[in-house]
Structure 1
């Protein structure tokens, strides 16, 4: 079964052109599913049935996994079985007609403008890593790009003279995003004084480097944002996407149109962007309740 997973991920990479992070997600889900099957005494994929899939999902549910996790696992398993039938490894697909768990849409957590200001003021500018951290945080809030897109930026992806960056989003779709003056200034400072001190003389093209002179990882950035959030005494739950959510919400609160925000975020469907309109309405209600004398 392990070989079948390898064949499937190879198919996704070569024929579907999926990104590395997506491939890892599929593989992780399927390795867990196969491990469950082996615990049930199943060693051949031909032995699996609808009951095994349902049992696996119930096991995840009993462990307290979120609905989104169950839904993603169901999607991975369904795609796997479709591949197996298509390539004649199986005669029939046991995942057909299984319902995907409905995901409860939760409003994203966003920072107030004051919290963003405190977060962005945290990195010390007398140290190359501090300049890098400041540039990364400013760039995230200025553009709303995903953390994976941020750490994958190369030197040639940023044009400070013209004031824009280009990044490769989901589905290998490239988009161009404008940069504000503050982001341009700190990224220029990082490229002129911070990055040369982190660079170890190798042929590394990554924009943001770690202390070894290599491309900084998503996990590395996650530690960075958590550190500065704690320093800024921010009580809002911070995730790697918090600045992306805050970027979109603050734009809409200040009059940006939904289509422009959709394009900058790289959403294929505008319904995904519309979640931020709910956030702004909720925030307006909170402000009204706290400030109106007769609320």
Structure 2
């Protein structure tokens, strides 16, 4: 089973350019399945459809969420599809198994006022001029483009030079997309690049190599980490008078999409800007808008009010 798993993860990295976090998630899920099979004197090579279905029942009995069970089945399906293509098995025991589906949860978002408060906090709460320029640039880019936080922190500086009107973003699966920059984002970007280049020049004089990232760091990744940015945005929420439980990097991505939709943007355009492979992923934002429109009617339409 270890040989199967190693080969499968290697193929994910080499052929599909799967992100490290995706591969780690596959590994965790498939190791759990392997451990369950071993306790029943089974392994990947002999497991049948009934075994996979029994494992899913086991996951349900453990109280795992629908999304977790769906993700585990997806990993198992991909493993057996890979094994079939490699002729390790003459059949695919997972091919006809239907998943539990996913609970359709509405994404948390922020009002335009709350976003304004976060952007103001980025300007006013920094410890020094360097941090202020960096924080303002991070927040302006995140809200202006709806980037995933992993895309934001790993942006190459080459993509941001020359006062661009559009930013080239490399997203999941290596897919690239162009996203327009708002005037405030362009201003923040220009100011940060001047400071960033100054910092990089000083670092090189001390023997450090030149950084290729827009937001460099001395850590092993070479750029600001997602965890550090997560901590930063929580601090900004506190300074902006917003409940930090409401604010994550992904909340700004949701706010970007929701505010566009509320102001008349079409779903296909938002899909392109967010880098969603399937428009069904983007459709969740219509439910956010539906909730707001329903509340608007119930609160303000004269026939919706109860008689005294």
Q: Which has the larger radius of gyration?
A: 2
> Match of 1:122, SS?
helix
What TM-score do the two structures reach when normalised by structure 1? 0.88
Q: Which stretch shows the higher mean deviation, 109-118 or 52-61?
A: 52-61
**2:16, 2:217 → 1: CA distance?**
32
Q: Which stretch shows the higher mean deviation, 120-129 or 259-268?
A: 120-129
After TM superposition, list the pairs within 5 Å mapping 1:22-171 onto structure 2.
22-42=22-42, 44-123=43-122, 124-125=125-126, 126-159=128-161, 161-171=163-173
Pairwise CA distance, 1:127: 4.0
**Long gaps (5+) in structure 1:** none
**1:175, 1:159 → 2: CA distance?**
17
The aligned length equals 294
1:210 aligned partner:
217
Pairwise CA distance, 1:155: 0.3
**2:238, 2:133 → 1: CA distance?**
18
Q: Which stretch shows the higher mean deviation, 62-71 or 48-57?
A: 48-57
> Match of 1:45, SS?
coil
> Match of 1:177, SS?
strand
Pairwise CA distance, 1:47: 3.5
- Superposed CA deviations along residues 142-185 of structure 1, whole A, max 9, x for unmatched, are 01111121122100112452322101122322111111111111
- The question of whether the paired residues in 2 share the 8 Å contact of 1:128 and 1:197 is answered with no
What TM-score do the two structures reach when normalised by structure 2? 0.85
Is 1:245–2:259 an aligned residue pair? no
Is 1:227–2:226 an aligned residue pair? no
**2:88, 2:143 → 1: CA distance?**
47
Q: Alignment partner for residue 295 of structure 2, among 275, 286, 294?
A: 286
2:8 aligned partner:
8
Aligned CA distance change for structure 1 residues 222 and 36 (closer, same or farther; 3 Å)? farther
Q: Which stretch shows the higher mean deviation, 29-38 or 183-192?
A: 29-38
**2:17, 2:41 → 1: CA distance?**
34
- The question of whether the paired residues in 1 share the 8 Å contact of 2:163 and 2:190 is answered with no
- The question of whether the paired residues in 2 share the 8 Å contact of 1:109 and 1:237 is answered with yes
**2:133, 2:39 → 1: CA distance?**
50
Pairwise CA distance, 1:115: 0.9
Pairwise CA distance, 1:211: 5.8
**2:120, 2:151 → 1: CA distance?**
23
**Long gaps (5+) in structure 2:** none
**2:118, 2:94 → 1: CA distance?**
46
Pairwise CA distance, 1:249: 0.8
